[in-house]
Amino acid sequence: MKILAIETSCDETALSILEIEGDKQSPVFRILADETHSQIALHAEFGGVFPTLAKREHAKNIPVILEKVLKDAKLFESGETEFDTEKMNSILEREPELLATISSFLRNTKKPEIDHIVVTSGPGLEPTLWIGIMFARALSLAWNIRVTPVNHMEGHLLSVLIDSTQEEDKTINLTEIQFPVLGVLISGGHTEFVVIEKIGSYKKIGQTVDDAVGEAFDKVARILDLPYPGGPKISKLALEGKKNELVKLPRPMIATPDYNLSFSGLKTAVLYLSKKLQEQNLWNEETKQDIAREFEHACAEVLTSKAKKAIKEFDIQSLVIGGGVAANTHIRNEFSKLGIPLLLPKHKLATDNSIMIAIAGYFEISQGKESYLYGTEKTPDEIKANGNWSVDA
């Protein structure tokens, strides 16, 4: 099976083509092509992602990236393709720029040897999600290929199943994973604890009640005069930090009996502490390093404390950490001390990417989840952008 995966949930336009062989318990994922266009530089001046700009960039870049991944996978062939122009216009009527670009490309490109299309349809920024979804609909119509919607957070949970290097692609045999698994999703938009009984069976047991941990990293970075995105900058600064009696931060909700979290108050505590140190003429590079260290330690302590409790209550046998903050070295190290097998994505697969969407999509397909074909007499519109789509819905 060859799968084309599309990811546009935030500020990365990502497409990949994976070939999957083997059975459901030991599938082998081979990456034929993978391309990601990041918009970080464009959004840096706003201190975060500007949705309207992100949507425009997705629409501009996604046809170009499609051509590149088809060529990289050696699936591109020039030639004429006929499709229903009226239906294509209907699918892309709200995106005339995308319509013009993709229609021209598809008419002059033969249908590639792709068996299925999968696309992120939530959670995320709905304006950007719609670009990927409409693009998938257009490809389905032109190529007569079925489309399956994929949950972005399921993608993060399953991103640990592949270890991709330049030399080879390795996969983890599912029979070697001990269930139940505790999934810890930590990113700029989400912080969640999910119990995984088996692939496809998820139960969310806790989440942030305000800011996600990655969002808190970005906000603290702004307080410390660090550029966006703040996570990597905080981590680098924290490496130079030391334990400082003047730099103390709270561990919000660490003792609550549930599995919910809060990071907004922690961010506010950093703000008040920085103002206090400035008033005392103690604001310097060393103090910033100490604050970054203390903030990073506070986040890790709250996350691992909750995880440790869940491991005991739900008889957890393995841990999976997913999302952009999973790339944080200190947080990885603290989770590795919990005494059970820990599965981590490679740094490339920790941030948003389409490889993880292809993996999640494969399991959706193999488990018989509903897919859609755009080109039938009645064009379906069931695949919609759902910015709040929960992984256990």
What CATH number does the domain containing 57 carry?
3.30.420.40
The verdict on pTM exceeding 0.85 is: yes
Residue 366: both structure tokens together: 């193999």
**Same domain assignment for residues 36 and 145:** yes
* 96-124 pLDDT, tens digit each: 888 988 988 999 999 999 999 999 999 99
C-alpha–C-alpha distance, residues 299 and 307, integer Å: 12
C-alpha–C-alpha distance, residues 341 and 214, integer Å: 24
**Same domain assignment for residues 233 and 328:** yes
β-sheet with 201-207: strand ranges across: 201-207, 191-198, 181-186, 318-322, 342-343
pLDDT tens, N- to C-terminus, the chain (393 residues): 999 999 999 989 999 999 998 887 788 888 999 999 987 777 777 777 888 888 988 999 999 999 999 999 999 999 988 999 998 998 898 888 889 889 889 999 999 999 999 999 999 999 999 999 999 999 999 999 999 999 999 999 999 887 644 445 566 667 678 999 999 999 988 999 999 999 999 999 999 999 999 999 999 999 999 988 888 999 999 999 999 999 999 999 999 999 999 999 999 999 999 999 999 999 999 999 999 999 999 999 999 999 999 999 999 999 999 998 998 999 999 999 999 999 998 888 888 999 999 999 999 999 999 899 987 766 666 899 999 999 998
3-state secondary structure (DSSP) of residue 137: helix
- Domain contains 377: no
- Domain contains 376: no
**Same domain assignment for residues 13 and 161:** yes
* 161-213 pLDDT, tens digit each: 876 444 455 666 676 789 999 999 999 889 999 999 999 999 999 999 999 99
- Chain-centre distance for alpha carbon 248: 32
Interstrand relation of 116-122 and 28-38 (parallel, antiparallel or unpaired): unpaired
Instruction: Note the pLDDT of residue 347.
Output: 82
* 122-142 pLDDT, tens digit each: 999 999 999 999 999 999 999
**Same domain assignment for residues 163 and 277:** no
Tell me the residue range of the domain where 290 lies. 179-340
Tally the domains of the chain. Answer: 2
**Same domain assignment for residues 250 and 325:** yes
3-state secondary structure (DSSP) of residue 249: coil
Q: With CA atoms as reference, report the closest residue to 145 among 97, 101, 81, 99.
A: 81
